[in-house]
Structures are given as C-alpha cells and as structure tokens.
Structure 1
C-alpha cells in the first residue's frame, strides 16, 4: 500500500485539515500519516481560535515518520507561523520525498487570516522551491502574485487564471493548479505545468453551501493519486472527480457551511446513507 503524509492543522469540527486529509487518503486507498502544525477551534460557522504546535514538535513528528516509513507523497496544508514553515522546509530538504503538494492556506473561507505577511513571504521564498505542485485558490493566487511584485491582475475567469498560473509557475519553476471554485460563473481549475503546458478542468457547479474542506480534500486527493502512480495531469483529473463526489455527498450538519464528504461513496456502499 502506498503511504502519504499530511502536514497540516487540526479541525475540531472534522471537516477540513488533518481530519479530512486522512478520510480522503482512506477513501482513495492509500495509508495516511500526519504531522499536526496547529490546533484550531472551529466549526461550520468559522474559525474561533488557532493555537500553534511548537516548531520542534512539528519537526519531530515529520522525522518520526520518515525515519521509519517510506513516504510516497506529502500534502502540506496550514502552516501558521514562520518557524513552523522553516521546520517543514528543513525536513523537506533533508528527506526529499518523491512528490510534495502545497495547499498555500493563507485565509480561511470565513475570512480568518491564517498567515501573516512575513510568513507568506517565507512560504514563497523558502518552502515553495522544495515542492512539486502549488494549489492556490483565487485569493491565494492574487496574494502570491502580489508577493512577486506582480499584483493588480484581476483573477475572475479561466483566462485570467491561466495568466496567473503562468506568472506563478514562471517565477517559481513549479507546477501550479489555480482553483476557480469561487468564480461567479461555471467553475474551472487551471493547471500550468513547470514546462508551460496548460490543462483546464471544467465542472458543473453543485448547488450546496456545504463545501467546508474542499481545498484540503482536493490537494490530498492529488497527493494520493500521484502516490498510486498516476502522472500529474491524470492525478488532478481523478482528484477533481473525487472532490465533485465529495461535494455531491456533502453533509448538512451544523448551522453554517457543512463539510464535504470524502467517504460518501463508501458510506453509500455500506448502506449508511
């Protein structure tokens, strides 16, 4: 069985972060491992509080995995402070896993700022050089462009997403998947590869407010599919189908935006829904 490590924050409501990453790994059929970077107090209404895990503990969690188990892919999510980003960067530099996807979590859907401006720059200049794929949403892509000194681009269409992806990929030398779930019209994602190939992934919008954890689920699904041997373009295609399934089976729980459901088809097969 392939083995995938998630390095991310914990979501007390179970809809995002480490919790949804591990559900995604299980549903796709890889063995999931985790290193927790922060503990959040959150629910379907939003993030209430974030408390960091020490950088040394983050590093020790990652070391414990790599020193014992072969890691086929890594997903990196929420990194709350500079020293944690640096701890993860150091570990990626030492262990050099075969594939690393970075979901550059900067701001929560509810508007909670999860990373300060200096930490965002350390992420861009220190960690991104050691990953294979970056998966920013529209706001995160705009933030990265601003850090690059290329701010001002209005990213509101597949065409402008491609422009943003090309600029970010050209600056970083990395594969970039710009996520367009927040487009006003039909959603699409745009993958710009490090060798300048472009792929568009169009999908019908699923009418639901229950999309908590979408970005976490998608990046984890990509990591899991790459670990299983699919090339990047196919891994993204399969991950897009997977997240559509998870949204279609989303759970209407809580008083806010409920979570996607990576285990949806498994629950159905077991007669649980």
Structure 2
C-alpha cells in the first residue's frame, strides 16, 4: 500500500513553500499526501503580505476527517498558525501510537516575514514532546533555546546548516539516544531557496512513512532538496521556488 503522509501546515499562494511544497515532495517520493491547512497566506517570492489563520476547530476537523477514513503512516507539521492550534494539534496527535511525526518549527519565511508570534513559538514545546524529529534552521534553533533545550523534550534533532557561513554546508542529525550523523556538501549558489525547510521535512516524513530508518530518510530527503535546488525554474523577482524532481531517490 502507498505510504500515507498527513501534512499539517499553512498554504503558500506563490506555490514555493508550505502545503504546496509539502505535497510536491511527498508525491515525488512515492507517497500519498493529505493535508490539514492551518493558515492561508498571501505571499510571493518577495514576501508575505497577509496571513489568515484557520480556526483551530477546523484544523482539528481536517485531521479527524483524514485519520478516521484514510489513516496515516507519518505526520509532518509545519506552520502551525496559532498557540491555540499548537496545543490542540498536540492533544490530537499524542494519541497516535507508533506514528512518526516530523516537526519543522516555522517562524520566519525565507523572505524574512514572521509566520509565528511569541505565544505560538512558546507553544512549540508541546509539539516537541510528542514528535519524532524537530528540524530547525540555525536561527530557529537559537529561538528554541539551543540543541540541549530541544533534545530535552525527547525528540531527535536535525540541525540544518543552510543559514551558516562558508561554502560548505553541514547538517547534523542527533537522535534521541545521542547517536549523531553528519552530512557535508558544497553549498548550491542560488537565490531560489523558497520552501527548502518545508520540502526537507516532508521528504523525511515520506521516508519514515515508507519504513526507512531516520538517518536514511534524512539522507534521501537531503538528496531530493539538493536536486530541487539545482533545477529551480528561476521564477519571481525574489527568493523563487525550487524545481520539482519527479524521480524517486535512493538513500
């Protein structure tokens, strides 16, 4: 049976990040993507001009509709919309048994626009207590209190090095038992990086849904993102969307 991935995240009208990027990644890697939309955004490659959170009860209704019929093999959480929704989603998902959950703690868009207020960021702790993996970039990791603070919640941590300096990009996976895996690659020089975090987290969730080990799921997801960066179509006047590689990748 095809691997099922439930994506809880916001919509990006420009098609580069959010739910749109999530669906592309899961589909390209051979999974079936289902969605619970937490917010509607008006955005393009230059920035976010509007955010409309979806009411919490409607977010939960979407989750319940999917789980009660189709079910899921993994969950990906991205932009959460509000502190109330963060707590409600945590309440709903903590009852799932044996289902891997990947949390991308979205705070700021690639353009620099804020996508989470202080109360929502404070509520991220509820989610990190129940997830399998948290995937912050370096500024997000600092806002969450650093590596030790995230690992204290009991989840694995993928420290993404995209915001670091230099031509060499380093990503570090620290599993709950302390096992560490490090990847290093030459940085791909492109302004078209919109949706990298969303895409990576969803690609990891797809791998976990397909029964891959966490390091293998991360490895394949990184390969997919690098391929997507390399074939970016060059759309828009700012940080454009990545490309859409459609051939599944092996770890």
Tell me if both proteins adopt one fold, taking TM over 0.5 as the criterion: yes
- For 1:110 and 1:43, how far apart are their aligned partners in 2? 9
Matches within 5 A, 1:1-273: 1-96=2-97, 98-124=99-125, 126-145=126-145, 164-165=146-147, 167-185=148-166, 186-261=168-243, 263-265=244-246
- For 2:10 and 2:97, how far apart are their aligned partners in 1? 22
Conserved 8 A contact 1:66-1:95: no
Aligned pair count reads 245
Conserved 8 A contact 1:71-1:97: no
- For 1:96 and 1:17, how far apart are their aligned partners in 2? 26
Moved over 2 A (4+): 94-97, 263-266
Per-residue deviation, 1:265? 4.5
Whose RCO is larger (CA < 8 A, sep 6+)?
A: 2
Per-residue deviation, 1:123? 1.2
The alignment yields a C-alpha RMSD, in angstroms, of: 1.2
Conserved 8 A contact 1:169-1:192: no
Stretches of structure 2 that go unaligned for 5 or more consecutive residues are none
- For 1:22 and 1:265, how far apart are their aligned partners in 2? 12
Per-residue deviation, 1:252? 0.3
Per-residue deviation, 1:257? 1.1
- For 1:44 and 1:97, how far apart are their aligned partners in 2? 38
Larger radius of gyration: 1
In structure 2, the residue matched to 1:157 is: none
Stretches of structure 1 that go unaligned for 5 or more consecutive residues are 146-163, 267-273
Conserved 8 A contact 1:102-1:134: yes
Per-residue deviation, 1:169? 4.5
Conserved 8 A contact 1:250-1:264: no
Q: CA offsets, 1:46-98, max 9 Å, x none?
A: 11110010000000000000001120000000012111112211210233461
Conserved 8 A contact 1:18-1:36: yes
- For 1:104 and 1:33, how far apart are their aligned partners in 2? 19
In structure 2, the residue matched to 1:269 is: none
